[in-house]
């Protein structure tokens, strides 16, 4: 007997999509260029999530354009922020969850940025502990880092730790649409 998931080109399950939906919804957030809000998505949830799963698991998913929003900085000027559609955020969460299990153990214990179950209070506590052991500190904030990172170098780093083809395929597709507004 053939397992249903063996016939799909990508090993993405409906459960993975459902769990990603729950996580993304708990974060709330605004709609993207398609203007689909949570009420609209939830009114036909089974259909939307089924279509998303079907596209992700068949390899035919391509992300939508990203909505650009200008955020004013306290210091003056603006910072441009890209807002993906809700369905794209769910797809990103599917990939993030899979990738996180692989790369999370590789991070140093003193690393706190964008990591699960770590927050700024944990970072301050670690910095305090470090201050007793070292007489120096390094504070880095790379201006426009995510706007200027070399995508080929980024993909080389991802490939170094993860050789999962569907993860690499979808990250490449998102990087290709990141600058489309």
Q: Given a cut of 80, is residue 125 above it in pLDDT?
A: yes
Q: Which residue has the tokens 């259909």?
A: 47
Answer left, alpha or beta for residue 47, where phi above 0 means left and psi between -120 and 50 means alpha.
alpha
What predicted TM-score, i.e. pTM, was given to this entire model? 0.84
* pLDDT tens digits along 56-72: 999 999 999 999 999 89
- pLDDT band per the 50, 70, 90 thresholds, residue 7: low
Q: What is the mean pLDDT of residues 96-123?
A: 87
Q: Using CA atoms, how far apart are residues 117 and 8, in angstroms rounded to an integer?
A: 33
pLDDT of residue 143: 75
**How many percent of the chain have pLDDT more than 70?**
93
- pLDDT band per the 50, 70, 90 thresholds, residue 117: confident
pLDDT of residue 181: 32
Q: What is the mean pLDDT of residues 69-97?
A: 92
* pLDDT tens digits along 129-167: 888 888 887 777 777 787 788 888 999 999 999 999 999
Would you kindly state where each structural domain of the chain is located, as residue ranges? 14-61+72-123
Q: Given a cut of 90, is residue 99 above it in pLDDT?
A: yes
pLDDT of residue 112: 81
Query: What's the distance, Cα to Cα, between the start and end of the chain in Å?
Result: 46
pLDDT of residue 180: 35
Q: Are 48 and 90 in contact (CB under 8 A)?
A: no
Q: What is the mean pLDDT of the chain?
A: 88
């Amino acid at each position: 007997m053939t397992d249903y998931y063996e016939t799909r080109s990508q090993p993405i399950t409906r459960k993975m999509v459902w769990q990603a939906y729950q996580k993304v919804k708990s974060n709330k957030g605004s709609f993207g260029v398609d203007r689909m809000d949570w009420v609209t998505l939830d009114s036909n949830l089974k259909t939307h999530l089924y279509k998303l799963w079907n596209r992700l698991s068949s390899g035919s998913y391509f992300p939508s354009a990203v909505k650009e929003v200008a955020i004013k900085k306290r210091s003056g000027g603006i910072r441009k922020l890209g807002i993906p559609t809700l369905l794209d955020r769910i797809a990103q969460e599917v990939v993030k969850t899979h990738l996180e299990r692989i790369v999370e153990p590789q991070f140093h214990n003193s690393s706190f940025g964008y990591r699960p179950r770590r927050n700024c209070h944990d970072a301050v506590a670690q910095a305090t502990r470090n201050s007793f052991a070292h007489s120096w500190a390094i504070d880095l904030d790379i201006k426009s880092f995510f706007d200027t990172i070399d995508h080929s170098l980024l993909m080389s780093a991802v490939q170094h730790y993860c050789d999962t083809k569907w993860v690499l395929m979808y990250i490449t597709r998102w990087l290709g649409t990141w600058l489309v507004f």
